[in-house]
Structure 1
Amino acid sequence: MSNLDSSLAGHAVPKKGASQPTNNALDLIEEHILPKLDPEFLQYFADVIAKHPPAHTIPIEEVRKTPEKFQPPCALDSSTEKGVSDHVVSSQDGTSIPMRVYHPIADAQGIERPGPHPVHLNFHGGGFVLGDLNCEAGLCLMMRKAGVVVVDVNYRHCPETIWGKCIQDAWAALNWVRDEHVSLNINPFSVSIGGVSAGGHISLVLQHMARDAGIPLKLCMPTVPPTTDCLSYEYYTQSPFASFHEFHRGPVLPWKRIKYFGNQCMPQDKLPEIKKMWPDWWLSPMRAPNWSGLCDTYIRTAEVDPLRDEGEAYAMKLVASGTMVTLKRYLGCPHTFMYLDVLSQKRQWDEDSIYALKVAHGLL
């Protein structure tokens, strides 16, 4: 079972004009949502997701006891793959943060470039609560096909660590990559960052921090990022964005799942402490004070995702500031569609990722 597999809610009717699963699993999807979903996802929903309990009903203690049961479909142990090595970086408070480094191997034509290589830092999804070095290993193996070194960062999670340490861990990783460029055989002036969901949020914060520190970035590449402090909401109605309301009982990442993550990361009794510890815009990148001079950005959203509109609103703020922005919405897709190999839209996402990295790093 995966995080995606167990996120469901609602009631539904079949999508008109599309081949439908024959069982009643689609009755779990609300009527206004069902026609918007890709038929490939609906089949996966019926075959897999609907057969598991909703993720927000599973206590965090159970998840911690058997984390392998709750990995996304793209998870695998990549530690023994060719060109892959594990490292640690010391965060600001001295905590050791695990990282996995993926060096590019020979391409389809058998060409193996000597380097130094461009580098892309990946920050995984999981609501700032879930994830490890295996959960997005499939995505990292895919991205290195662009000819870049991929560094996957296992930042600290809540509730064991107070929210915000994840940003410090990611920042330490970015600086480590540049400091260790010789031993890693990378080009410290050809760096990009990105991530899915919570990892996308982290990359957006780092985008501003890197600008402020004079660290050049080739690209920021977040997918389905939360760009507000929605994890701190008491009710979904606090969101100003229509998609948050439209899909609050969607088949993936419903409001109850968002609230589940929020209870681990930003519980109401801890919010005053968290807000005192960190800059306000760390919680909500949309409230960043300075939008000038930011690196090129490629933001990707999913049509059937409560976070869709806030991700696209962030992109529009970048455009207004003069930043070079590419924005793509994947139609018919729920929040973590890029974890599902059975979807053609996921395969398109892979191709888009490789192409964007090649363009950003001058590898075409």
Structure 2
Amino acid sequence: MSSLESAIAGDDASHAVPSQGPGAAPTGSGSQGASAKPDEDITSLIEDHIIPKLDPEFLRYFAKHHVPAPQPNIPIEHVRANPQAFRSPCALDTSGYPGVTEDSFASTRDDNVRIPVRVYYPDEARHGPGPYPVHLNFHGGGFVLGDLDTEGALCLRMREAGVVVVDVAYRLCPETVWGKCFQDAWDALNWVRDSSTTLYINPSSLSIGGISAGAHISLVLQHLARDAGIPLKLCMASVTPATDALTYTYYTDSPFPSFHEFHRGPVLPWARIKFFGQTCMPRDTLPSLRQQWPDWWFAPLRAANWTGLCDSFIRTAEADPLRDEGEAYAMKLVAGGNRVTIKRYLGCPHTFMYLDCMSKKHEYDRDAVDALRAAHGLI
């Protein structure tokens, strides 16, 4: 029996990090028939030394539903023509759900460009009539993938904190030059503040957050808000990229051990990072991009000023190549005298919070709701 088959079958000796018991059956769509034998090529996608570090619930999911990482030379036209093949497992079209509305705001830098948003209101019967605190969410997807459905299920969950959640469909690469996403995020923050009456929110109780690329956007926005004197209650960033990894020539360019250890792990192997990098910032465009945008936008870890930033909740995943740089960002915040909560989810890969079959995903959701309630004074 291979190490992966042993992990899926529930052999205690194979698990460095036990979950809710080696034989626990996963829940959620697509997860029935828990102990399926893995496809022949799965061990080529996860190196043997990583398998014992992964939560058994994830291994069972991956054995049945793994999707090989896109190669760096995959045409973006293929990606755009096959959106369902690249959607997150928790993607949900929430348009038309009770308490969910569609809106948009104008870009302040590009004429005739409007940025769509989806606005989630809490249940008035449970949380009172408002106006409510507001949380801006920026989805993941490597600056290339994602839309207002990507984290629909997560946004529904976050509004249970008693806050309005504004999910922002910032512009993607390569159709839009990398860096515009930060301008879109800044415009989103200011539009929300200026639209407090129509959105029925409290503009003095704002928080921001995101996952993966959306976390990167949130980190940049955290510094921009501080510099502009805009108070934020919380920056909640998860599986956070904090370096310019998309510009690396090879994974060994990273100074962080987790980037090396998990470069052939699940969900976000080096091949996928390279695909995102070559799509966002091809080598021939890098010099002009570096002239166009501040250096620390590429790598928030290189920001110059770490004082006076809002409270932060930085969440990482143990088996994620981005783990160490997210935690390094958190420690920079600590060194700057800011209030920071850091949590590492053991046994989890990148974007584990998209997988309903994992108990750690539900823990993640509860943590988000608790953090938003605390930050906005709702407990």
TM-score of the aligned structures, taking structure 2 as reference length: 0.89
Map 1:305-320 → 2, pairs under 5 A:
305-320=320-335
Q: Who is 1:227 aligned against?
A: 242
Letter in 2 for 1:79: S
Whole-Å separation in 2 of the counterparts to 1:53 and 1:215:
42
Q: How many residues align?
A: 349
Whole-Å separation in 2 of the counterparts to 1:116 and 1:317:
35
Map 1:1-364 → 2, pairs under 5 A:
14-15=6-7, 16-17=11-12, 18-19=22-23, 21-25=36-40, 26-28=42-44, 29-49=46-66, 52-56=67-71, 58-91=74-107, 92-94=109-111, 95-106=113-124, 110-364=125-379
Whole-Å separation in 2 of the counterparts to 1:326 and 1:189:
22
Given that 2:130 and 2:201 are in contact with CA atoms closer than 8 Å, whether structure 1 keeps it comes out as yes
Closer/same/farther in 2, CA of residues 174 and 42 from structure 1, 3 Å limit: same
Letter in 1 for 2:285: K
SS in 2 for 1:348: helix
Given that 2:5 and 2:37 are in contact with CA atoms closer than 8 Å, whether structure 1 keeps it comes out as no
Compute the displacement of 1:13 (Å). Answer: 6.9
Given that 1:13 and 1:31 are in contact with CA atoms closer than 8 Å, whether structure 2 keeps it comes out as no
Unpaired segments of 5 or more residues in structure 1? 1-10
Unpaired segments of 5 or more residues in structure 2? 13-21, 24-34
TM-score of the aligned structures, taking structure 1 as reference length: 0.93
Whole-Å separation in 1 of the counterparts to 2:266 and 2:200:
43
Q: Who is 1:6 aligned against?
A: none
Whole-Å separation in 1 of the counterparts to 2:336 and 2:204:
23
Whole-Å separation in 2 of the counterparts to 1:24 and 1:67:
24
Which whole-Å deviations, capped at 9, do the CAs of 1:290-343 have from their partners, x for residues lacking one? 111000000000000000000000000000011000000000000010000000
Given that 1:13 and 1:30 are in contact with CA atoms closer than 8 Å, whether structure 2 keeps it comes out as no
Letter in 2 for 1:44: Y
User: Aligned residues: percent identity?
Assistant: 64
Given that 1:117 and 1:149 are in contact with CA atoms closer than 8 Å, whether structure 2 keeps it comes out as yes
Whole-Å separation in 2 of the counterparts to 1:234 and 1:160:
23
Letter in 1 for 2:53: K
